[in-house]
């Protein structure tokens, strides 16, 4: 019955929490997520979609790097001489009309709002007086906060310089921005187009014989049924635009040398450097890519689910689906995940990823071991390859109500892999191969 209500074969976060897997602390990429406002959406559904996005669980494979911008009216930003869309069908052009020149509008938003500068300020716990500190970097990177001292590092302490450089590459350099554009459209328009085309085709069918008449009648009946089934439906879709903070040796050198301020900085110098940072164009974002996903809602009624629950479930699933597509498409955005369990002399190993992350069974993952290279920077080497066991795949999709459970079966709380080794241990990181 539920499959007749929603065509939701997509991804999301589970309400079920595993009771018997270990939570492992590891270095993760950092992420700020926000939404692109769109006043043209149906107000009733816009409120549900917007509220769902703003309150949905944060992607748990990333550190939350929120800088206080949850949404922005990017579509109404005026950018002169924006480029037209590439050649597309009339239908696609109509659908994308609101997004013409959106890349330029996003670039202007990022620059005008100082998004890159805000992400850097967040990393260094910038205070109202402009002073920085390294507590957040030490916490996320498991560095010693008492020795992660910028001023000492600038005095050429090799160990401290290496730690700051490592933190820059491993943490700051893996900071991302995702801007989500949600859409909610009535399917009746598309259903009518398909229906009219079907009727035109049926009208051309021969009906000179009894058999031809039966075939034509059957075709009309099928067309009527499809139209009546889909005309009341809706489509929830999400486009996600992915950007990465630019951080390299040149930028970090200027930042630490010319813009760094802490509690020990003299008052006059602090004021001057605070102003320099506030007006600096040193920091920028680079566009990584865009992906889109959609969920078809065939009916807004049934199985004790409210309209809000159904639309919210579809919104969360399509958002998680588009994140999964970004992760699969762009290597730089692929998250690392720790092995949660290793048992039976390495014959069994699991990780807390599943349907939400787009797994279907058979996907391959590199098992990574962390080490420090000659330059003092963190690197990872692959020590094995494992494959998702399709028979032990965790359903961590989001459900507006309790997820379905087959009576008598043990609920899977983490995905199992084939090819595990006896030298594996909980905390080893895995990353999906291309």
The pTM assigned to this predicted structure is 0.81
360: left (phi over 0), alpha (psi -120 to 50) or beta: alpha
Distance CA 428, CA 26 (A): 9
Distance CA 384, CA 161 (A): 32
Helix residue spans in 6-157 (DSSP H): 43-55, 90-95, 102-112, 115-123, 135-141, 150-154
State CA 385 to chain mean position distance. Answer: 25
Distance CA 290, CA 241 (A): 5
Long-range contacts of 103-112 (CB under 8 A, 24+ apart): 103/241, 103/287, 104/79, 105/74, 105/75, 105/77, 105/79, 106/74, 106/179, 106/241, 106/243, 108/77, 108/79, 109/72, 109/74, 109/77, 110/177, 110/243, 110/284, 110/285
Domains of the chain: 1-16+23-80+101-187+232-333 (no CATH), 193-227 (no CATH), 336-434 (2.40.10.410)
Which pLDDT value is given to residue 185?
76
Which pLDDT value is given to residue 69?
96
Distance CA 177, CA 117 (A): 12
Q: What are phi and psi of 389, to 5 degrees?
A: -85, 110
Find, among 63, 423, 115, 87, the residue nearest to 241 by Cα: 115
Distance CA 267, CA 263 (A): 9
Q: What is the sign, positive or negative, of the torsion defined by CA atoms of 380, 121, 116, 267?
A: negative
Distance CA 2, CA 212 (A): 37
Mean pLDDT, contiguous 10-residue spans, the chain (434 residues): 34 34 76 94 87 91 96 92 49 58 95 97 96 92 76 60 84 97 77 79 87 86 79 82 96 93 92 96 97 81 72 90 95 94 86 91 94 87 95 84 57 89 92 88
Are the beta carbons of 380 and 365 closer than 8 angstroms? Answer: no
52: left (phi over 0), alpha (psi -120 to 50) or beta: alpha
Which pLDDT value is given to residue 18?
36
Query: Which tokens belong to 299?
Result: 């009916």
Query: Which tokens belong to 198?
Result: 């079907």
Find, among 188, 291, 189, the residue nearest to 237 by Cα: 291
Q: Which residues contact 371 (CB under 8 A, 6 or more apart)?
A: 378, 379, 380, 381
């Amino acid at each position: 019955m539920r499959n007749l209500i929603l065509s939701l074969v997509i991804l999301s976060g589970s309400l079920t929490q595993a009771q018997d897997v270990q939570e492992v602390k590891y270095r993760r990429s950092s992420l700020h997520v926000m939404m692109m406002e769109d006043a043209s959406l149906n107000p009733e559904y816009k409120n549900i979609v917007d509220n769902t996005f703003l309150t949905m669980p944060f992607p748990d494979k990333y550190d939350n790097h929120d800088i206080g911008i949850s949404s922005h009216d990017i579509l109404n930003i005026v950018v002169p001489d924006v480029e037209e869309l590439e050649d597309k069908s009339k239908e696609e052009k109509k659908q994308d009309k609101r997004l013409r020149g959106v890349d330029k509008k996003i670039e202007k938003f990022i620059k005008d709002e100082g998004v890159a500068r805000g992400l850097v300020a967040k990393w260094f716990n910038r205070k109202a007086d402009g002073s920085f500190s390294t507590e957040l970097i030490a916490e996320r990177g498991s560095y010693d906060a008492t020795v992660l001292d910028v001023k000492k590092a600038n005095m050429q302490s090799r160990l401290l310089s290496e730690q700051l450089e490592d933190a820059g590459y491993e943490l700051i350099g893996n900071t991302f921005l995702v801007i989500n554009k949600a859409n909610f459209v009535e399917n009746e328009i598309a259903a009518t187009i398909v229906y009219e085309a079907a009727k035109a085709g049926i009208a051309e069918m021969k009906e000179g014989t009894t058999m031809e008449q039966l075939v034509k009648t059957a075709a009309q009946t099928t067309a009527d049924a499809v139209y009546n089934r889909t005309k009341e439906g809706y489509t929830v879709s999400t486009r996600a635009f992915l950007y990465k903070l630019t951080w390299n040796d040149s930028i970090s050198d200027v930042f630490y040398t010319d813009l760094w301020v802490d509690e020990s900085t003299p008052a006059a110098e602090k004021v001057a450097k605070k102003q320099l940072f506030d007006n600096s164009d040193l920091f920028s974002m680079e566009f990584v890519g865009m992906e889109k996903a959609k969920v078809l809602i065939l009916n807004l009624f049934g199985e004790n689910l409210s309209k809000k629950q159904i639309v919210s479930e579809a919104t969360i699933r399509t958002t998680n689906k588009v994140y999964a597509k970004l992760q699969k498409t762009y290597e730089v955005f692929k998250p690392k995940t720790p092995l949660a369990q290793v048992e039976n002399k390495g014959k069994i190993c699991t990780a807390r990823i599943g349907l939400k992350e787009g797994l279907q069974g058979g996907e391959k993952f590199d098992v990574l071991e962390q080490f420090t290279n000659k330059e003092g920077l963190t690197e990872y080497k692959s020590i094995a390859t494992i494959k998702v066991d399709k028979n032990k795949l965790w359903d961590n999709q989001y459900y507006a109500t309790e997820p379905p459970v087959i009576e008598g079966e043990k609920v899977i709380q983490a995905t199992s892999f084939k090819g595990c080794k006896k030298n594996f241990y909980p905390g080893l990181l895995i990353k999906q191969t291309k």
